Amino acid sequence: MDILVVGSVAFDSVETPFGQADEVLGGSATYFSTSASYFSNVAMVAVVGEDFPVEHEVMLKEKNIDLAGLQRVKGGETFRWKGRYEYDLNQAHTLETHLNVFESFSPELPEEYKKIPYVFLANIDPELQLKVLEQVENPKLVACDTMNFWIEGKQDKLRELLKKVDMFVINEGEAREFSDEASLVRAARHILDCGPHTVIIKRGEYGALMFKDDEVFNAPAYPMEDIFDPTGAGDSFAGGLMGYLANTGDLSEEGLRKAIIIGSTMASFNVEAFSLNRLKDLTLDEINLRYKAFKRLTHFEEL
Amino acid sequence: MDILVVGSVAFDSVETPFGQADEVLGGSATYFSTSASYFSNVAMVAVVGEDFPVEHEVMLKEKNIDLAGLQRVKGGETFRWKGRYEYDLNQAHTLETHLNVFESFSPELPEEYKKIPYVFLANIDPELQLKVLEQVENPKLVACDTMNFWIEGKQDKLRELLKKVDMFVINEGEAREFSDEASLVRAARHILDCGPHTVIIKRGEYGALMFKDDEVFNAPAYPMEDIFDPTGAGDSFAGGLMGYLANTGDLSEEGLRKAIIIGSTMASFNVEAFSLNRLKDLTLDEINLRYKAFKRLTHFEEL
């Protein structure tokens, strides 16, 4: 196995201007794993309740996602999230959150997961993210995500975590909040001073910016006619990014740039449908074609 | 002369998080002309009052900007705008507007301006923009800008204008408002159906998108450590774009893409200082270097 992801598995109920979906498969670990599975073998550590149907497990296993680390709590209910997007699809409005079995989640790595070289700590309590890092042995690359809730409530733990992380993936507004800087360039520098050698700032429909040493890379988002459901876009992005890096083992500047475009490619597919309905049935040809479209989208000649 | 611009000349008073400037030179025609002057000869049609100091005219003439079309109203006062930017620098908050001589402005083209091949109609009343087009003869490229005020108040005239325009340069929010579409791809298609063969959507610190036939081009904004003053960024962008197009005469897809990056380059310089303080003293070496930085900013390899 190449990639370890620790995060959430959820049932999402989502309303967007294009429709609604009830109790569909979601969660950061789910989106990440499915996206990464096109490039690498993923091992997932997460928790579900007894209500988690076997067909979801079958789908994930068909993607060669290892579920030995998926805890099943007897008599428990799976994490549920209900949210709505208005026409500004960059902003989710949370209507309900039921943590259920996720509330007492404590990530325990199966023995065979401890030497996995690529580690993604999806958005969970930084104390749990730290607990995962205590269990892994000499990872090649550790990346993590977070959210405003932890920036506001557990910033000390988050800063402790960042010292041990190579790559930080964070939303634009959260980067500004974390660094207390209006300028993204200054925000990125602040984060790099905290430990990671690379920071990737996600900007929703505006794409992503990577800062590494003195280099900056701008990746656009693919201009979509309709964004049916932005849920999971950030985790699909991270999944494509990490999946491609683990596949090539190329952590050079050029390798990272390609991986970010692969991440953007996977995110662009993900938003075309509710849940994982589009993301789960892609072909490598479709992925290659979309990557080429990103190349054309950004191409201009020298003067 | 290669380019005709019709727009405003103003005294701006601006507050930003980085400081303030009082009654400094501004206006759409001023920013546009100064930016375009690095690539082409510009003729400016605008109006000022008797209070317009000779040193501003000297500066513009030193840039080889032709002022035969600059009307001077005896006893009149120049247009004044006062505004403030908060940390969200994409949004100007207007504090005061004194149209003064601009209120009764009626663009009259000197005879020698009527055959100028590249025409830019900066953001003024669409009736006046139409009046300019009645006076020009066989232009090679006509581009125009507008604002929400005209979209809300004179949309019929604006739609009449668009039938006669090749290129429409518009802000993201205004494109959505004009088309009544949340999706920018749909908004762009709506605008292309109104007449122009090219629409360029300005997204502030997120760059610009060009839509032409079935092609889409994404230009980033240059990530700046500090944006001192965003005033005039859109007109500096249009000036660089039109100046480069008039210089090369290359209206192909590839030529337009390069011109957009030149526009983005000029806008990135403009926001580094108040008024035209940075824009007016650039060297071609500086412009070339920044263009190369855009190339590096967006570069990624094929898979």
Instruction: Give A1-60 pLDDT, tens digit per residue.
Output: 999 999 999 999 999 988 999 999 999 999 999 999 999 999 999 999 999 999 999 999
User: φ and ψ at B253, to 5 degrees?
Assistant: -50, -45
Asked if residues A118 and A242 have their Cβ atoms less than 8 Å apart, the reply is yes
Best probe of the A interface among B264, B286, B300, B301, by most A CBs < 10 A, is B300
* Count of domains for chain A: 1
Q: What is the pLDDT of residue B294?
A: 98
Contacts of B60 (CB under 8 A, 6+ apart): B30, B33, B34, B44, B67
Task: Name every residue in B having a CB less than 8 A away from some CB of A.
Answer: 17, 87, 182-186, 203, 206-207, 209, 215-220, 223-227, 254, 257-258, 260-261, 288, 291-292, 295-303
Q: What is the CATH number of the domain that holds B237?
A: 3.40.1190.20
**ipTM computed for the complex:** 0.96
Residue B303 resides in a domain: no
* pLDDT tens per residue across all 303 residues of chain B: 999 999 999 999 999 988 999 999 999 999 999 999 999 999 999 999 999 999 999 999 999 999 999 999 999 999 999 999 987 777 789 999 999 999 999 999 999 999 999 999 999 999 999 999 999 999 999 999 999 999 999 999 999 999 999 999 999 999 999 999 989 999 999 999 999 999 999 999 999 999 999 999 999 999 999 888 999 999 999 999 999 999 999 999 999 999 999 999 999 999 999 999 999 999 999 999 999 999 999 999 999
Residue B171 resides in a domain: yes
The CA distance from A23 to B65, in Å, is 64
Partner residue opposite B182 with nearest CB, options A87, A260, A302: A87
Residue B291 tokens, joined: 């263009």
| Residue B302 with chain A: CB contacts under 8 Å | 292, 295
Asked if residues B201 and B209 have their Cβ atoms less than 8 Å apart, the reply is yes
Residue A269 resides in a domain: yes
3-state secondary structure of B184: helix
In which domain, by residue range, is A28 found? 3-298
The CA distance from A67 to A69, in Å, is 5
Q: What is the pLDDT of residue B99?
A: 94
Q: What is the pLDDT of residue B245?
A: 98
When pLDDT is cut at 50, 70 and 90, the band that residue A282 belongs to is: very high
Integer distance in angstroms from the first to the last C-alpha of chain B?
46
Partner residue opposite A218 with nearest CB, options B254, B291, B297: B297
Residue B142 resides in a domain: yes
Partner residue opposite A218 with nearest CB, options B220, B225, B303: B220
| Residue A184 with chain B: CB contacts under 8 Å | 223
From residue B162, alpha-carbon distances to B141, B152, B169, B178 in Å are: 13, 15, 11, 12
Please tell me the distance in Å from B72's CA to the nearest CA on chain A.
39
| Residue B215 with chain A: CB contacts under 8 Å | 296
Residue A151 resides in a domain: yes
